[in-house]
Structure formats: C-alpha cells, structure tokens
Amino acid sequence: MEKKLRVGLLGGGSWGTTVASVTARNSPTIMWARDAHSVEDINKNHRNEKYLPGATLNETLRATTSIKEAVREADVIIMGIPSHSFRHVLEEAAPYIRPWVPIVSLTKGLEQGTRMRMTEIIESMMPGHPAGVLTGPNLAREIMAGQAAAAVIAMVDSTIAKALQKVFRSGLFRVYTNDDVVGCEIGGALKNVIAIAVGMGDGMGAGDNTRSAVITRGLAELTRLGIEMGGKPATLAGLAGMGDLIATCISPLSRNRHVGVELGKGRRLETIISEMSMVAEGVKTCKVVIELAQHYGVEMPISQEVYRVVHEGYSPLEAFRGLLKQKVGSESDPG
C-alpha cells in the first residue's frame, strides 16, 4: 500500500483550519496554532469557533501549540501564516523540519520591505526544500460547507506537485497542478488589492457595470505585472488569476472586499481593521504592488488609487474620480 504523507500545518486561521481539515481526510495532519483555546476546541470538539463558527472539522485532525510537535515528523509542511508573520514563524519551525521536506504556502500576499513572494522566502531560508503554493478561488466557509471548489497546487517540480495533489484533493474540492509558481503567487496577491477597489465602489453604491469594469481592468493590471515578473498568461487567466479575482471581488465572505465596502461607506481604515479577527492581505500588499509596478515599469492605476486611499488618506470618491481622469485609448493599452 502507498504510504500516506504526514502533514504539518502552521496557522490556525479560517483558511489554515479549512485546509488542515481537508488534508486530514487523506493524510495524518497536525495543525499548529498560537491560540490555546482554538487548539483545545479543535481537539475536544472538532471545531474552531473563533474562525469557523458552526463548522465541524474532520475528527482525525489534531492541533497543538507546539511548532516542534507539528512539524518534526511531517512529510510536507503547509504554511497558513499571514505575510507579515510568515518569515518569523518559518524561522521558529526551521530547526525541526526534516531535510528535503516540501513547504507549501497558503498565503496570498507579498512581504513588505523585501517585496518577496512567500516561496522566495522559503527558498532563501530553507534551501533544498521544494517550495510551492496552494491557491485559487477558495472561500473557507464554502469549502467547509461541502460546496464544490477548485484550486491549484503550483510547484516547479511536477512530480512533487502530483504527489501533493493527492494530499489536498477531497470530494468536491478539485486540485489541479501547475508549474508556474510566480504567476500563481502574483495572481493570489494582487487580486486582494483589486477586491478592495471593487468593495469601495460597492460601498459607495456603484452598480454592476462599475463592478464589472473594475474587475476586468483589474485583471488587466494583474496580468501585466504578472507577466513582467515571469508569470504565464494562461495562469493569470485561470483559477489562480481570474478565478480567484472574481471570487474575492464579488463574495460577501471576502475580507478584502469587506474592507473596501466599509471604506466606501466612509469609515476609517483603522476602525475597520480593529473589528476584524482575520487579516485582509490587500491592505499591506498594495504598497508592495506599487513598488513592484514602479520597478518593472508597469502602469497600475487601480492599484495606485487603492494605495492612495489606504496609505495616503485619499477618500474612495477621490480615488474613483482619479480613475475617471485616466486617458482612455485602446483596450489593450495600460490604464
């Protein structure tokens, strides 16, 4: 019989818990979380009420507050850690991770300061460990409710990707492989910024035409930067790009869209963030995106306006007026 890969998952938020519950159906899974109450809830009640209220987790899933316990026997490490904590948690785990074990990121963000993707952080800190990403239009609550969804496991080594595909796929959760790690990560990070823009329009009462226009032009921005950074057009038109963008921009379950909606209603960013128990990656990512756009010489007007609202005090109305002032040319032109 084929040996089942043992999974060590770091991160106790909604998406990390969901993935851990999914992998527990296929492989022995130990999940690490800082919150002792969440760990106790998972082990005793098969729930994580703090982040997934009402959802029942796989009964075989185990949780721990010890990083060492979570990773020391794992055949694959999954990082469900926000971008601002990713490096620190990996540093904590590194001494206990066995050689050559693949490390897969669930994080849809970019590191501030270094502008690095999460797999770049893994490769720089853990040379010899294959680095990959699981991404796509995946809203945690829908997957926990058993609704159909699709994701992408991206690794440079297709053999490893196919092996990990068996760990993640389950029932109505379909997982495809892809060797375009760059495109998958850029798509996942940038869609959060566009979702804030869409949410701002919704919060101000804009209609479906506006929403469609922002999503479509946002996809053009995402694709331009993704290609300049080495991603493939097909990836950015697929699940990791357009698919994830649509889900994040239209779903009321989307954290980044929620931030945009509340901004559009005139609320202060600090107040919105303080009321959220989970991270909206687009808030931090938009600054890095603008830095990358300048570095690669790519025009990204929607992302620029989101940055101005989030970091420079512009109002959402001023941002949308800024977009309307953009010169209009061919649809294939930037802007």
3-state SS assignment for residue 8: strand
Largest Cα span, the chain: 64
Which residues does 19 contact at the CB level (< 8 Å), separation at least 6? Answer: 9, 78, 80, 106, 134, 168
- What residues are paired with 131 via a beta bridge? 103
44 catalytic residue (yes or no): no
The one-letter code for the residue type at 325 is: K
With beta carbons less than 8 A apart as the criterion, state whether 41 and 50 touch: yes
Q: Which residue has the tokens 């297709």?
A: 158
Which of 96, 90, 95 has the alpha carbon at shortest distance from 70?
Answer: 96
With beta carbons less than 8 A apart as the criterion, state whether 77 and 133 touch: no
292 DSSP assignment: H
With beta carbons less than 8 A apart as the criterion, state whether 281 and 86 touch: no
Active-site residue (options: 191, 287, 325, 327): 191
> Would you name the residues annotated as active-site residues?
191
